[in-house]
């Protein structure tokens, strides 16, 4: 069995050899089993990582956004098998890019429309576009973003982006494959269309305010800028170079884009409260946010055998994918977590695990590129789950 001293030692080793600074919180039944911080949020000023430090969540935004969307699902605002074009008519005539034998592409209508479920579980056929990608989908997505930037001088909403992206040919027929990408921007736009609010307004009203998450936002409020961890590039020799975080410009108060796949920042305590709500059937501190059965649906694997092969790698060994979250199907000799445990990871090193069976959750954060996620997160997972009695 592991103890708090083991997690302390692990985090200290990280700060001495792997990352400038990090933090971790382990909770069960609404109570903190472990909370620890080590190293620096800003090496130049000597500011240490502590409970006030803000970290870029990047793709850990997805868990919050998908939870928000499923609150609307519970209210009958949409069904998972609905065609997405019911909410965004621009998507009624989606085309798929088909590779021909001579290396060229042709375009035909999709076999069936993109469904709401497809955008939740990354089966809609749209990637995150590569700036230098040669596939017709990449080229079209890049062209759409360039046109939006020119039209709106760089300030457009996620709903405006989703409307414009309807002209992009998808890479495969909806539901046939798994491809990490643009789907959760489409989930965020669905929140806006069904709620009549911006994504940030809806999340604040339905999740952040009820749970007391005062440090989780899309944009800086009073004093938040000074609390943000510096993002560091880890050089080949192991030294650290400060860098501008991807999408940091979107934190500025005059910005309006609120993504579904990334864009939030938070501190460990806020995110730990959110994960405890999900681990305890949708309730935290007497406040119900979402239903238990909806959480169970969210964390059920929805990938077929073909999609699982496209999803799985050594970091995701044993996991399937549900509605915006990885979900443990089989511990497979590499994990001491629990089947049904779920969560996700952020590009700069944030990670969470949520375990409804044990009403247990873990949140870990650092902000570096590369994030070296496999090294850090698997060790945190092993120590944290070793604390369970």
CA–CA separation, 277 vs 347, rounded Å? 24
Enumerate the β-bridge partners of residue 375: none
Domain range summary for the chain, segments of one domain joined by +: 4-72+198-386, 79-195
Q: Quick one: average pLDDT of 287-292?
A: 98
For the segment 271-281, the average pLDDT, to the nearest whole number, is 98
Of 255, 201, 206, 177, nearest to 75 by C-alpha is: 206
Alpha helices in 93-227, H assignment, sequence order? 116-120, 136-152, 158-165, 183-195, 199-203, 209-211
Q: Residue 321 to residues 87, 333, 341: CA-CA distances in angstroms?
A: 24, 19, 11
The residues that bridge with 288 in the sheet, in sequence order, are: 283
Per CATH, which fold does 79-195 belong to? Methane Monooxygenase Hydroxylase; Chain G, domain 1 (1.20.58)
Structure tokens at 184: 């959760």
What dihedral do alpha carbons 149, 220, 32, 262 form, nearest 10°?
0
Mean predicted lDDT score pLDDT of the chain: 97
Q: What is the Cα–Cα distance from 77 to 57, expressed in whole angstroms? A: 27
Question: Among residues 43, 10, 25, 87, which one has the least CA distance to residue 239?
Answer: 43
Whose tokens are 């979900």? That residue is 327
Question: Do 4-72+198-386 and 79-195 share a fold?
Answer: no
Per-residue confidence (pLDDT) for residue 79, from 0 to 100 = 98
Q: How far is CA 11 from CA 28, 31, 76, 387, in A?
A: 20, 21, 44, 15
Alpha-carbon span 321 to 306, nearest angstrom:
13
Q: How does pLDDT run across 296-352, given as a tens digit for each residue?
A: 999 999 999 999 999 999 999 999 999 999 999 998 889 999 999 999 999 999 999
Cβ atoms 145, 70 nearer than 8 A: no
> Which residue is associated with the tokens 């030692």?
9
Residue/partner pairs of 41-44 with CB below 8 Å, 24 or more apart: 41/227, 41/228, 41/229, 41/230, 42/229, 42/230, 43/230, 43/232, 43/240, 43/242, 44/230, 44/242
Least Cα distance to 69 among 328, 340, 299, 323 occurs for 323
Q: How many CB atoms lie within 10 A of CB 252?
A: 10
Which pLDDT value is given to residue 331?
82
What digits encode the pLDDT tens for the residues 49-108? Answer: 999 999 999 999 999 999 999 999 999 999 999 999 999 999 999 999 999 988 899 999
Q: Which helix (H) or strand (E) holds 249?
A: none
Q: What is the pLDDT of residue 101?
A: 86
Asked whether the predicted pLDDT for residue 174 surpasses 90, the reply is yes
Is pLDDT of 266 > 90? yes
**What's the pLDDT at 22?**
98
Say which residues have a Cβ less than 8 Å from residue 79's Cβ, sequence separation at least 6.
73, 116
Q: How far apart are the first and last CA of the chain?
A: 8
Gap between the Cα atoms of 98 and 340, Å rounded: 37
d(CA 239, CA 233): 8
Name the pLDDT band for 129 (thresholds 50, 70, 90).
confident
Tens digit of each residue's pLDDT (9 = 90 or more) over 355-388:
999 999 999 999 999 999 999 999 999 999 999 9
Identify which of 340, 329, 339, 331 has the alpha carbon closest to the alpha carbon of residue 378.
331
CB 40 within 8 A of CB 21: yes
Q: Which CATH number fits domain 4-72+198-386: 3.30.830.10, 3.40.50.720, 1.20.1250.20, 3.40.710.10?
A: 3.40.710.10
Query: pLDDT tens digit string along 2-50?
Result: 999 999 999 999 999 999 999 999 999 999 999 999 999 999 999 999 9
Q: What is the mean pLDDT of residues 236-259?
A: 97
Backbone dihedral region for residue 16 (phi beyond 0: left; psi -120 to 50: alpha; all else: beta): alpha
Distance CA 257, CA 194 (A): 17
């Amino acid at each position: 069995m592991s103890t708090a001293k083991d997690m302390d030692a692990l985090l200290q080793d990280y700060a001495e050899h792997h990352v400038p600074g990090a933090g971790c919180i382990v909770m069960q039944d609404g109570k903190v089993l472990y909370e620890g911080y080590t190293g620096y949020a800003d090496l130049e000023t000597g500011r240490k990582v502590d409970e006030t430090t803000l970290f870029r969540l990047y793709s850990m935004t997805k868990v919050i956004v998908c939870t928000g969307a499923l609150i609307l699902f519970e209210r009958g605002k949409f069904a998972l098998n609905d065609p997405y074009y019911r909410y965004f008519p621009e998507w009624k005539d989606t085309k798929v890019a088909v590779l021909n034998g001579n290396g060229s592409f042709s375009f035909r209508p999709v076999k069936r429309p993109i469904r709401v479920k497809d955008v939740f579980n990354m089966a809609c056929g749209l990637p995150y576009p590569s700036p230098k990608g040669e596939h017709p989908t990449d080229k079209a997505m890049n062209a759409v973003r360039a046109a939006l930037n020119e039209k709106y001088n760089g300030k457009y909403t996620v709903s405006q982006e989703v409307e414009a992206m309807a002209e992009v040919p998808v890479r495969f027929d909806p539901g046939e494959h798994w491809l990490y990408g643009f789907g959760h921007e489409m989930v965020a736009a669905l929140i806006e269309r069904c709620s009549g609010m911006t994504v940030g307004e809806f999340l604040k009203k339905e999740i952040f305010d009820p749970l007391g998450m005062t440090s989780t936002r899309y944009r800086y409020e009073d004093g938040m800028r000074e609390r943000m961890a510096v993002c560091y590039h880890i050089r080949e020799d192991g030294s650290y170079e400060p860098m501008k975080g991807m999408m940091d410009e979107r934190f500025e108060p005059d910005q309006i884009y609120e993504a579904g796949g990334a864009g939030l920042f938070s501190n460990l305590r806020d995110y730990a409260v959110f994960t405890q709500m999900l681990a305890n059937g949708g309730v935290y501190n007497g406040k119900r946010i979402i239903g238990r059965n909806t959480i169970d649906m969210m964390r059920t694997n929805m990938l077929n055998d073909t999609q699982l092969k496209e999803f799985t790698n050594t970091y995701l060994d044993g996991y399937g994918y549900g509605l915006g979250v990885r979900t443990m199907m089989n511990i497979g000799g590499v994990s001491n977590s629990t089947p049904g445990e779920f969560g996700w990871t952020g590009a700069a090193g944030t990670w969470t695990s949520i375990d409804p069976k044990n009403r247990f959750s873990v949140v870990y954060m650092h902000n570096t590129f590369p994030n070296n996620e496999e090294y850090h997160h698997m060790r945190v997972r092993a120590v944290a789950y070793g604390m369970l009695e």
